Every structure is written in structure tokens, then in C-alpha cells.
């Protein structure tokens, strides 16, 4: 089976390439490296001992994408490629709508014209907006607070309408909660450019001494200790969720939360990181970050029921593996 992986050099895409290669699939990676480094592809080969084809392609480029569909008999597409920085999307909405929507349209169009039957899409828990937890797939979407989130909700809609009109295309919409951690080899992981926006990479950079201290955005939320609660999921569990989604996808449109179902507060994550890695993380409580919700965690029962998948790795492993990758690769 040939699986086209867009954004395969990125954080989640690279771990999913590993999971698919280890399971015997052939992968074809298309990435323009706007937020990743081609060296990651070598590391995937090193981890798995397998080779695969990779192309430097912008997946909004319809002609370049069509050449791929002509060259290979593609059995499925997993579409990770996208811009993902929430704050930047507010500053550059057109860049986000253009990149994230056009890529989805171009890929779906080629799937229909070349008879590809499976499309797995990287969506986000952000599409739920601010609602009661646990968040379940049956809940109506209430609108998001930023253009990035809107591109995810709109891509879900585009793919749903397309699959309804073309029943030979089956679609799986995967709503990720908060992916963290890294492959246990320490060879691939998350390498944000500049100062990280997300909590775990910020913590690892404080641990490394690259940043002086963590700013905790608010301690007055109605949560266990006042700080924001999220459903952190180990990126290797997330990658395995993609394999399960691909293998069970037969017809129709299916939506799945990929999370652990467990909420962890900012301070609980900091404490676990300190304990597991034996490093103190200095922090300061500051005001809330605009657009943040108090709590976000998943109802994960549907993914278990229908995909036979659930996350296996806990917060300890997430903190240990994130730190191992930072130690190995932070100077690149």
C-alpha cells in the first residue's frame, strides 16, 4: 500500500511515517520544509531501516501534486501539511486560509480524479471552541477564536461535503488534543522555530537554560489548581492512532478525538517534568493568554470502540521523551 504523507518531515508527520513504515506500508512524503528540516527524513530512515520516496513540493501547487498522483498508485493520503501557529494566523489570515484550505482542496480533488479511496486529515480539538468537557465528537462546533482554528473547521467541512458527493472517497477527521513528547530514540521530535508558543517545548527550553523561566498564563481558572488543563498525548500514541484510523477506514466520513481522556494542569505538568528529569523549572504566574480555554480534554470512547485504539503512554513518558530529544537536538 502506498500512502502519501503531506507534511511528513514535520513533528507529527515524521512519527507517523515511522509507525507506517514499521507496519510495512510504503510512504511517499511531500513537504516544502516551511516548518521542518529535510534531515528529519534521514532520521526516519535511520530509525526504521527502510527507504522511501520524498519530494520537496508545496501541496497547494496543483500541478506538482498531480504529478505525484500520476507517478504513483496512491492508496491513501494522510494530510498533515499546514501552518499551525494560532497567534501568527491572526496576523496573517490570508496566508493561513490559502495554505491550509487550498492544500486540502488540491489533495481531495486529486483523490477523486485518481480513484484514491482513503483520506485522513489532521484536525484539532480547537474546532470545539469553548464547551463543557469532556469534549465528544457528537457535540456541535461552536466556532473558534482564530483563523487557524477556522481552517481546521472549514477543511473538515470541505472533506465531508466532498466525501458525500463522491462516496468512493472515505474520510477520517482526526481531532488531536495536545501532542507532546518524542520518539524514544531521541532522533525525531518537536523543533519549534524561535520562542515556542506551546507549553512542553517552552518547558524543555527552560530546562536547557535557553529561556530563563516559564510564564504560566493564569492561575485563576476554575480548575484543580487554577492553571489551564489540557489533554496531553504522546506523539507516538498519536502516530499509532493514524495507523488505526487508516486501517479501519472503509466508507463514509468519521470523526475521532485522539487524546488520552485525562486532563493535566500547567503546574501538574511542570511538577512531573521536574520529578521525572530531576531539573527545576523556574516559573512566574502572569495574566491569562487571550483565546485560551480553562479546560480541554477528550471523550476518547469512540476511538476505542471503533478503531480499537487508545493512548498507552503517560505524562511521565511524555516528559522524559521530550527532554531526551531537547538534550540531543536543541543546538541544531
In order, the DSSP letters of 307-328 are I-------HHHHHHHHHHHHHH
148 among known catalytic residues = yes
Binding mask 68-87 for ligand UFG (x = CB under 6 A): ----------------x-x-
CB of 158 to ligand UFG, least distance (A): 18
Q: Which is nearer to ligand UFG, 185 or 198 (CB)?
A: 198
Measured CA to CA, the distance from residue 1 to residue 212 in angstroms comes to 48
How many other CB atoms sit within 10 Å of the CB of residue 74? 20
Count of residues that bind ligand UFG according to CB under 6 A: 22
60 forms part of the interface with ligand NAD (CB under 6 A): yes
Q: Which is nearer to ligand NAD, 193 or 280 (CB)?
A: 193
Measured in whole angstroms, the distance separating CA 146 from the mean position of its chain's CA atoms is 17
Q: Which is nearer to ligand UFG, 202 or 309 (CB)?
A: 202
- Strand-pairing partners, residue 118, are 76, 170
Q: Cis (ω within 30 of 0) for the bond into 313?
A: no
84 forms part of the interface with ligand NAD (CB under 6 A): yes
Read off the C-alpha cell for 252.
463514509
- Rule CB under 6 A: choose which of 131, 160, 197, 301 binds ligand UFG: 197
Measured CA to CA, the distance from residue 312 to residue 304 in angstroms comes to 12
- Rule CB under 6 A: choose which of 4, 77, 199, 300 binds ligand UFG: 199
Q: Which is nearer to ligand UFG, 81 or 125 (CB)?
A: 125
Tell me the C-alpha to C-alpha distance, in Å, between residue 268 and each of 204, 223, 273, 283, 326: 15, 12, 9, 13, 20
Q: Which of 25, 128, 148, 202 is catalytic?
A: 148
Show contacts with ligand NAD in window 153-192 (CB under 6 A): 176, 178-179
Read off the C-alpha cell for 38.
529535510
Show contacts with ligand UFG in window 125-184 (CB under 6 A): 125-126, 176-178
Cα torsion through 119, 54, 175, 329, rounded to 10: 170
Residues that bind ligand UFG (CB under 6 A): 84, 86, 124-126, 176-178, 197-199, 202, 214-217, 228, 230, 266, 289, 292, 296
Amino acid at each position: 500500500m502506498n500512502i502519501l504523507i503531506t507534511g511528513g518531515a514535520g513533528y507529527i508527520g515524521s512519527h507517523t511515517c515511522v509507525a507506517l513504515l514499521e507496519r510495512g506500508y510504503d510512504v511517499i512524503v511531500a513537504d516544502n520544509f516551511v516548518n521542518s528540516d529535510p534531515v528529519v527524513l534521514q532520521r526516519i530512515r535511520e530509525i526504521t531501516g527502510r527507504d522511501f520516496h520524498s519530494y520537496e513540493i508545496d501541496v497547494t501547487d496543483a500541478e506538482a501534486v498531480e504529478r505525484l498522483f500520476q507517478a504513483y498508485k496512491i492508496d491513501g493520503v494522510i494530510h498533515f501539511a499546514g501552518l499551525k501557529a494560532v497567534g501568527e494566523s491572526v496576523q496573517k489570515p490570508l496566508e493561513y486560509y490559502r495554505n491550509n484550505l487550498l492544500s486540502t482542496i488540491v489533495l481531495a480533488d486529486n483523490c477523486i480524479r485518481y480513484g484514491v479511496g482513503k483520506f485522513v486529515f489532521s484536525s484539532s480539538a480547537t474546532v470545539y471552541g469553548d464547551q463543557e468537557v469532556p469534549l465528544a465528537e457528537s457535540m456541535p462546533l461552536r466556532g473558534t477564536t482564530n483563523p487557524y482554528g477556522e481552517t481546521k473547521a472549514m477543511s473538515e467541512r470541505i472533506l465531508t461535503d466532498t466525501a458525500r458527493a463522491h462516496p468512493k472517497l472515505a474520510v477520517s477527521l482526526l481531532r488531536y488534543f495536545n501532542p507532546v513528547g518524542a520518539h524514544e530514540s531521541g532522533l525525531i521530535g518537536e523543533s519549534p522555530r524561535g520562542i515556542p508558543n506551546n507549553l512542553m517545548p517552552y518547558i524543555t527550553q527552560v530546562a536547557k537554560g535557553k529561556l530563563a523561566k516559564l510564564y504560566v498564563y493564569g492561575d485563576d481558572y476554575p480548575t484543580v489548581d487554577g492553571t489551564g488543563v489540557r489533554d496531553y498525548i504522546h506523539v507516538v500514541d498519536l502516530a499509532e492512532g493514524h495507523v488505526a484510523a487508516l486501517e479501519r477506514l472503509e466508507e463514509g466520513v468519521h470523526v475521532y478525538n485522539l487524546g488520552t481522556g485525562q486532563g493535566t494542569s500547567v503546574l501538574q505538568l511542570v511538577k512531573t517534568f521536574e520529578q521525572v528529569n530531576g531539573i527545576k523549572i523556574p516559573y512566574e504566574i502572569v495574566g491569562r493568554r487571550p483565546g485560551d480555554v480553562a479546560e480541554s480534554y477528550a471523550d476518547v470512547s469512540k476511538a476505542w470502540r471503533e478503531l480499537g485504539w487508545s493512548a498507552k503512554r503517560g505524562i511521565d513518558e511524555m516528559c522524559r521523551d521530550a527532554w531526551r530529544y531537547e538534550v540531543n537536538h536543541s543546538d541544531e
